[in-house]
Structure 1
Amino acid sequence: RKELALQAQRQLFEKDWRDLENLTDRDTRKPSHEAKLTLGDNSTSFTKERPAIYNPYPKYNSKEWLATHALYVPCIGATGDEVEDIKVFRGRPRNFPDPGFGSYSTLGLDRNLCFERETRMGQYGVNPVMDKDGQPVNWDKVNWGELQSKCVDQNQARFATSGPPNAYVDEEEDSEPSPDLKKYDESAEKQTPKDLLATFRRFWRGPDARPLRSRSIKGVFENKRAYNSTVKAREARTAILLRSYTGKEYNDNDKQAIRSLITELSLRTGGEYQVFLFVHYREDEFDIWASEDLYRQAIEKHVPEELRSITILWTEGAVDKMYPKLTVKARKVHNGQFLPVQMFMQEFREFDYVWNWEMDSRVVGHHYNVLNKLAEFGRKQPRRGLWERNERFYIPSYYGGFESKFRQTVERQVGDETIWGAPKLPVVNPVGPKPPVENPKDDNYKWGVGEEADLITLAPIFNPVNSGWIMRNQVWGYRNLNFPWGKLPRRATIITQVRASRRLIDVMHAEDLRGNHVASEMVSQTTALLHGLKAVYAPMPVYFDRAWSGSQLAKWFNGGPKGQSGSFGSAMGWGQEGRYLGSTWYYRAIPPQRLYNNWMGYEDTGIGGPEWEQKHGRTCLPSMILHPIKEVKPTEKGYSTDSKLPYD
């Protein structure tokens, strides 16, 4: 009977809400949000609604901008012209539910915008695209690596050309391979991290990805538009690493998503971001590190032509040599997903931050707008009570306002049991700042405000100890005779799509060189905790396909001790993840694929497809991040997405 009731709720949720012809709250938004929209000659053939041009970027080259920045130089895109902004519809679908977790207003996002596939993704290949000469764009011949490099060259006055060395690594520290590695690889030799990076640099720093510090700047400043001698501060840069692997088939939607990431984050910003396809080379056909020719052959064999210029390969063999004090199990990608990211950041020092980006996630919304708001939210968070807020799903219908009732509720729940600075442990020497006062109650939510987050996650940073989560005890090192590994405080986040600072990555790298490591979903969170760095769970909107109340969500997802999402009773525990099947963000969930299929015009669960759209109109969605999205392709009549958990 309960299952029938839930099915009825899902059916109610699926009806009457997504079509473009029934938008509400078209003019309900803040003036700052309204300023991002302009109405041009934007009529479409599929709706009477007129989309607006959406420009969520800073007011480049305004008087305010030039007071603190060098001049912004627009960049050329795939068409040979300066990149254009996407379009969006005002309003949201009638009867669209509120998110169960997270909040648009808390993150500063406009909830009353609706994104439709053609106006959102048309310029990336959903529609035919013409170049500046009126010819169809040949996507295979677009050199995204060169476009990104030229873009940052033109804007070089805005950015630092290199970064500081890793201050936490002792170059003289013994890097003798472990007995485990010698058994696994008889050819293992003693090489320092510096030696290894010198080897990888030949392959990673190709003509389209060479270090900024090695580029000649002669001529760059000859363009007076690109130079401003009064600049007060360099802007931070962020690398986007799209995690892929040899053997992956790249469909049209994969390529369209990558084009949108590059265009909106890298080219439109003048180089604030740079996108890389970070490919795990899993074959044993030949040693790609033996020569530049073999490395290039591997890329040509396993990566589509369009994406080769942004591709960087890594291998588990390279990881083995970089981190000889870790065991083979710790270095495998399942447990060591961030090890190659750390290697990347040791070489590419010009980046202040890095996004570890899952290829099976999709942003329905504007990439720059979403990532910028996540960063702003992290910057605004005070450190007082931060770890305790981090470990709870923010449920607005249950807690109320984020900075008022939610904060107060969490403080009542935890009392004096709050994390304030790095914990004192005999196996860790923290590198983060010390609290300004001994008692957090003496800090009026000031410490940390304005400080960039070293880590931004998209789901709670929970306590895995006693949670039943299968990876909770994957700990290597972090022990001595008086401190067994089981005492190590840990934190984790399910789904490894996170933004990490160069500082955090450097500390992770240093700990791994010493042989200290935890599982992939724990490593950035636990390292931040142990070293007193600033970690923030940004409560992005997450929807459910059933009408759960706020109290029900709190019971089933924040049901741990004192209202936390981790520890005993955690929804992340083995056998409990079925609670997420109806959500829009988890590693096993049905709505992400279904919503995205419908959005792309494909039938799924009785919605979408040409016949449905002819009757109801096209679907549109508010800004959200979806995961997992697997194969995006036309579906057969009657198709319904399913997602099986390992124990089903």
Structure 2
Amino acid sequence: MGASATMLFKAHTRRVLARPKTVFPIVLFFLLLIYLVQKRDIYRAGTHAAVEVVEVDIGEQPVPGAQREEKLLRELRGKFEQESKALEKDPRAFAIFGNTLETLVEQDIRSRPQEDNLTPSNNGTEFTNEQPFVFNPYPKYNNAAWKARHAEYVPCRGPTGSLVEDIRVFKGRPRNFPDPGFGSYEDLGLDQNLCFERETRMGQYGVSPVMGEDGKPLEWDTIDWGTLQRECRELNEARFATSGPPNIYVTAADEKKVKTNNDDSQNFKRHMDHHVRRQAGSSGPSVTNTTSTVKEPRTALLLRSYTGKEYTDNDKQAIRSLITELNLRTGGEYEVFLFVHVRDDSDIWSSKEAYQQVVQTAAPREFWNITVLWNGKAVDRMYTKLPDKARRVHNGQFLPVQMFMQEHREFEFVWNWEMDSRVTGHHYDVLNKLSEFAKKQPRKGLWERNERFYVPGFYGDYDKKFRSAVERSTSGSTIWGAPEVSVVKPIGPNPPVPSPDQDKYEWGVGEDADLITLAPMFNPINSNWVMRNQVWGYRNQDFPWGKLPRRATIITQVRVSRRLLDIMHVEDLRGNHVASEMVTQTTALLHGLKAVFTPMPVFFDRPWDGAALARWFNGGPKGASGGFGSAMGWGQEERYQGSTWYYRALPPQRLYNNWMGYEDTAIGGATWEADHGRPCLPAMILHPIKEIKPTPPGWVTESKLPYK
């Protein structure tokens, strides 16, 4: 209470205490004064306090008292453990492990376009009698249809000096391999009857010996992947825009903040400018564009890393495959960057020499010229209205990505890519299918579909049965455009009709998604997810704490549009921020932008049926994945331990170890393969993958939960 208010209160008290009939007015006055002071203090807490208020969904799923809540969560955990333990005895349990080329079935079941991607290889293999096929999932470059809309595609050379070659695959799927518990190959347009084996999939990236043009083994340290990417893009520069529009959402006041946030943030900009100029240097002829063609969008893939990381051979092989399949083979449609967080106090901004010295210690030599450094100092100087906790990488993972986009305007999209994820299938095939699926999604019911795992064994097909089921369960509560939030001025388009009932699933079809995620965008309120209340800003006197609509996705491997990154940048300049796993999803929601959870296939090591998966993962209000008892909540994450996509999952490491020829949990390794055959896997995105290297005999991968 302020001094003047205190004196006023004491004087008034002295006057009325002599009058015994005024007790009731005294009490009223005292309560009113306390209320006004508390309201003032709450508002003055400003943007530097994290929201700690839980919103209760009254009438549908009230949050019980703390003790009762914990009791219910323990009971849920115990029931899941009981069901999971029982499924271990099922003969179908652990069928995702130990599958090889010797058990392939359904080799000729695929669509005609999928068959057109396959050409018999001229070379067989020593480890199987199965016929390998060259896999080409790329557009039909330079045919008549292509030339009608695009400038000419020019093929690029790879590290050996020859034109890039496509990988090889095998037709079929292992006999005992289960269907995905979540997601769908068919709905994404992926061929589920292809099997990828390590040598035919990754051999040209170093899994097998690679020979240069001189016939000698290739020395990878002599390769400059930055130059290869630049030269490839220059050959195809008629296809792409060399620059992009400015950030139109930055106001004059925002610009003033940026200009005054000098030193390290401006040094980051100067080094970005140098990187852009270095990439823009000419090294050869290019094809001239024509007036009838359109510029193709480009995507940057930021591979997240940090100083002090030790790169395994497999890490390097994975990076080479990303660059080759996404950049060199496409003529520059993608560009891969090693995006390195400088964790120590190195003064990387003092000079180009200091910057380059850190590059050379932080990255393998072959990747020096694709490496971009960032540090906390640059982020701090750019986003001064955010508190320290919000700017740290745990909560602010996308802040340097936003800064990257402000300087690299030539990219329309950015993939934020985790170093510890792996794609067993073909990178371009998988990412292109995710993008196409997202583009064709209508906005009607989209946020409601985004909130749920797609369980094909429970819902049926995606476009009809799943969509209808979600619409029935959420009737009358469909999000239609941006929600009305007084602290946000949405930048997205207004709905074409007042009500979603008037739309025939047309709005949004053909619109590129501003956000693509690989897991549901759940409502974290009441979910017991540990980061649910990490909110800064987004409030004023009329919009109190805890009321901000939020969405979150576990694992930050997402594709983000330039438009979404631009408005995220502006919100952070103004002091509005949420945790890393919420920021892309929540900003897209608040601004009415198109966000799509793509139903990537996810497998389980136990034979859960569709009804059980829906119950354990979509058990929230109206069948959503959030809410009380959510699988994302603290103490409930054991549900993911047997899956192929979650940061505490066990199967990814086991599967990948075996796939690379290493023993894990009594499967894999040279002796095992001699008896059973070479492991192969369908196209999957696995996470987490840590430190892939030869394992000792008897090795068993473990994944321990922190709450056990």
Short-chain TM bin: over 0.9
Tell me by how many angstroms 1:175 deviates.
Answer: 5.8
Give the Cα separation in 2 of the matches to 1:71 and 1:16.
44
Give the Cα separation in 1 of the matches to 2:542 and 2:278.
45
Whether the 8 Å CA contact 1:175–1:513 is kept in 2: the answer is no
Whether the 8 Å CA contact 1:155–1:271 is kept in 2: the answer is yes
Number of the residue aligned with 2:437: 377
Q: 1:150 aligns with which of 216, 231, 247?
A: 231
Matched, 1:273 2:348: no
CA 1:18–1:436: 2 relative to 1, 3 Å: same
Whether the 8 Å CA contact 1:427–1:479 is kept in 2: the answer is yes
Q: Residue 215 of structure 2 aligns to a residue in which SS?
A: coil
Give the Cα separation in 1 of the matches to 2:500 and 2:92.
48
Give the Cα separation in 2 of the matches to 1:328 and 1:16.
44
Matched, 1:546 2:614: no
Give the Cα separation in 2 of the matches to 1:16 and 1:193.
53
Give the Cα separation in 1 of the matches to 2:447 and 2:532.
18
Map 1:274-353 onto structure 2 (within 5 A): 274-284=335-345, 286-353=346-413
Over residues 448-490 of structure 1, what are the superposed CA-to-partner deviations in whole Å (9 max), with x where a residue is unaligned? 0000000000000100011100000000000001111300000
Map 1:596-611 onto structure 2 (within 5 A): 596-611=656-671
Tell me by how many angstroms 1:113 deviates.
Answer: 0.2
Matched, 1:210 2:270: no
Q: 2:529 aligns with which of 469, 486, 492?
A: 469
Give the Cα separation in 1 of the matches to 2:612 and 2:189.
26
Give the Cα separation in 1 of the matches to 2:663 and 2:475.
50
Map 1:124-203 onto structure 2 (within 5 A): 124-173=205-254, 191-192=259-260, 198-203=266-271
Number of the residue aligned with 1:227: 288
Q: 1:452 aligns with which of 512, 519, 533?
A: 512
Over residues 376-407 of structure 1, what are the superposed CA-to-partner deviations in whole Å (9 max), with x where a residue is unaligned? 00000000000000000000010001011101
Q: 2:586 aligns with which of 514, 523, 526?
A: 526
Tell me by how many angstroms 1:19 deviates.
Answer: 1.3
Q: 1:237 aligns with which of 298, 314, 318?
A: 298
Aligned residues: 627
Give the Cα separation in 1 of the matches to 2:463 and 2:668.
39
Matched, 1:441 2:501: yes
Q: Amino acid of the residue matched to residue 575 of structure 1?
A: G
**TM-score (structure 1 length as normaliser):** 0.94
Whether the 8 Å CA contact 2:264–2:377 is kept in 1: the answer is no
Give the Cα separation in 2 of the matches to 1:372 and 1:16.
28
Map 1:6-45 onto structure 2 (within 5 A): 6-9=87-90, 12-14=93-95, 18-45=99-126
CA 1:646–1:514: 2 relative to 1, 3 Å: same
Number of the residue aligned with 1:622: 682
Q: 1:536 aligns with which of 590, 596, 602?
A: 596
Number of the residue aligned with 2:10: none
Percentage of pairs with the same residue? 66
Whether the 8 Å CA contact 1:10–1:547 is kept in 2: the answer is no
Whether the 8 Å CA contact 1:126–1:256 is kept in 2: the answer is yes
Give the Cα separation in 1 of the matches to 2:198 and 2:669.
13
Matched, 1:514 2:595: no
Give the Cα separation in 2 of the matches to 1:168 and 1:517.
16
Q: Residue 546 of structure 2 aligns to a residue in which SS?
A: helix
Map 1:18-97 onto structure 2 (within 5 A): 18-97=99-178
Number of the residue aligned with 2:561: 501
Whether the 8 Å CA contact 2:232–2:332 is kept in 1: the answer is yes
Over residues 314-348 of structure 1, what are the superposed CA-to-partner deviations in whole Å (9 max), with x where a residue is unaligned? 00010000100000000000000000000000000
Q: 2:703 aligns with which of 622, 640, 643?
A: 643
Give the Cα separation in 1 of the matches to 2:474 and 2:289.
50
Give the Cα separation in 2 of the matches to 1:474 and 1:16.
39
Tell me by how many angstroms 1:197 deviates.
Answer: 6.0
Whether the 8 Å CA contact 1:16–1:94 is kept in 2: the answer is no
Tell me by how many angstroms 1:283 deviates.
Answer: 1.0
Whether the 8 Å CA contact 2:301–2:335 is kept in 1: the answer is yes
Number of the residue aligned with 2:8: none
CA 1:195–1:638: 2 relative to 1, 3 Å: closer
Whether the 8 Å CA contact 2:420–2:689 is kept in 1: the answer is yes
Number of the residue aligned with 1:103: 184
CA 1:195–1:348: 2 relative to 1, 3 Å: farther
Q: 2:323 aligns with which of 246, 249, 262?
A: 262
Whether the 8 Å CA contact 1:17–1:96 is kept in 2: the answer is no
Tell me by how many angstroms 1:645 deviates.
Answer: 1.8
Q: Amino acid of the residue matched to residue 170 of structure 2?
A: F
Give the Cα separation in 2 of the matches to 1:39 and 1:131.
24
Q: Residue 8 of structure 1 aligns to a residue in which SS?
A: coil
CA RMSD of aligned residues (A): 1.7
Structure 1 stretches lacking a partner, 5+ long: 177-189
Q: Amino acid of the residue matched to residue 96 of structure 1?
A: F
Give the Cα separation in 2 of the matches to 1:632 and 1:122.
16
Tell me by how many angstroms 1:16 deviates.
Answer: 8.2
Structure 2 stretches lacking a partner, 5+ long: 1-81
**TM-score (structure 2 length as normaliser):** 0.86
Whether the 8 Å CA contact 2:273–2:407 is kept in 1: the answer is no
Give the Cα separation in 1 of the matches to 2:546 and 2:673.
56
Tell me by how many angstroms 1:111 deviates.
Answer: 0.2
Q: Amino acid of the residue matched to residue 316 of structure 2?
A: K
Q: Amino acid of the residue matched to residue 405 of structure 1?
A: K
Map 1:371-450 onto structure 2 (within 5 A): 371-450=431-510
Over residues 171-227 of structure 1, what are the superposed CA-to-partner deviations in whole Å (9 max), with x where a residue is unaligned? 433766xxxxxxxxxxxxx844698665324323446x4277x6569x635xxxx22
Number of the residue aligned with 2:418: 358
Give the Cα separation in 1 of the matches to 2:289 and 2:544.
56
Tell me by how many angstroms 1:424 deviates.
Answer: 1.0
CA 1:10–1:581: 2 relative to 1, 3 Å: farther
Give the Cα separation in 2 of the matches to 1:328 and 1:314.
16
Q: 2:642 aligns with which of 568, 575, 582?
A: 582
Number of the residue aligned with 1:179: none
Name the structure where helix makes up a greater proportion of residues: 2
Tell me by how many angstroms 1:13 deviates.
Answer: 2.5
CA 1:4–1:414: 2 relative to 1, 3 Å: closer
Over residues 553-572 of structure 1, what are the superposed CA-to-partner deviations in whole Å (9 max), with x where a residue is unaligned? 00000000100001222110
